[in-house]
Structure 1
């Protein structure tokens, strides 16, 4: 049985190698390329579609956007004294350190947005970033910190949050790069 299977296994390995379907990396997998993501186009589209104040962060060199999404929270905000659906714009970035961090912008109220991000975090303090107070939420071993603040612009308020496995320096950089920008037009 072995001698009948050995040639088939060898042929499969050779074909996979020749066709480029596998590779050998003695030191383990390496850092792959960052897939391009057009942050400006995505956030402009979010501002137009969601009709909330969305900011395009001006980040230093070495930061790369790599993902984005939209979501909603039923009952995430109050409108005329009644629960209303809140909308969310989420953009993911890779910091120069290679760590991931998300920027979340919404018309949700703070408790609803934080609960949507991670229901296991609780407020533990604040961080001042260029004169803006960010509330810091932290949880257990499985939770990532969440920093959040409410920014008001000409089109109204927005709840902004940053979260991810990145460190405090990356949180501060993304917070400053976001809060310093005006909201994108919604018309």
Structure 2
């Protein structure tokens, strides 16, 4: 009968096979013949805590910030963001194009120095005017140019073939007439009240001008003061409609 080996005793395998303790070093002395485990591999420092990761990426972040500053991609403004440059908008050219496209009497305001145009648009007003022949509501059109007064306040001029009430409703549905302003012999009706975007709507001044090419309804609105309203009104009503080819 074959007896099992005593603990710690070497066991020889068959010829051509590895002994069972292959790959283990004999530690010598009293422990001869026993497999001794080696020390565990050291834990990577990167896995110890977040400080190592912070110091690893901090130089990269610093380089990115410096590069962005050199390229002008960011800036530091202790007093907060300042006003950007005013967009360059050619109001006379835009109004001439609107006159040709919309076929309504359009005037170019002759404004004093310091006023600058910065925007413009066209739009339609469904059912915005009453056809003089049929008496039926038909689509109206309008041309709008925005201006910045010397004070930096915004004021827009809209010129349209819409009826007065329909044009006013296109700004805010619940504006009501509250008075008038006389500007060089022309009566402008002042509308106020209502809300727009959750805030009180800005006043709207409107007047109808007549000329050889027909009537046009004008409207002024914006955050500017009364004197600036009067300046834009006078600068517009004093001009003749643009010729249309």
Does the alignment reach a TM-score above 0.5?
yes
Q: Which residue of 2 aligns with 1:84?
A: 138
In the alignment, is residue 132 of structure 1 matched against residue 186 of structure 2? yes
Give the CA deviation at 1:117. 1.3
What is the TM-score normalised by the length of structure 2? Answer: 0.74
Higher Rg = 2
Give the equivalent residue in structure 2 for 1:39: 91
Distance 2:224 2:242 in 1: 26
Unaligned stretches of 5+ in structure 1?
A: none
Q: Distance in 1 between matches of 2:185 and 2:175?
A: 24
- Counterpart position of 1:170: 228
**Which position in structure 2 is the counterpart of 1:66?**
118
* Residue aligning to 1:12: 64
1:27 deviates by 1.6
Q: Aligned equivalents of 2:151 and 2:227: distance in 1?
A: 10
Residue aligning to 1:114: 168
Kept in 2, the 8 Å contact 1:120–1:143? The answer is no
- SS in structure 1 opposite 2:170? helix
The reply on whether 1:152 has 2:206 as its aligned counterpart is no
- Ranges of 4+ aligned residues in structure 1 off by more than 3 Å: none
Which structure has greater strand proportion?
1
Q: What TM-score results when the alignment is normalised by the length of structure 1? A: 0.95
Q: Give the unaligned 5+ runs of structure 2.
A: 1-52
The CA RMSD measured in Å over matched residues stands at 1.2
The reply on whether 1:143 has 2:197 as its aligned counterpart is: no
Find the counterpart in structure 2 of residue 49 from structure 1.
Answer: 101
The size of the alignment, in residue pairs, is 187
Q: Which has the higher contact order (CA 8 A, sep 6+)?
A: 1
Secondary structure in structure 1 of the residue aligned to 2:166: helix
C-alpha displacement of 1:121? 1.6
3-state secondary structure, aligned to 2:239: coil
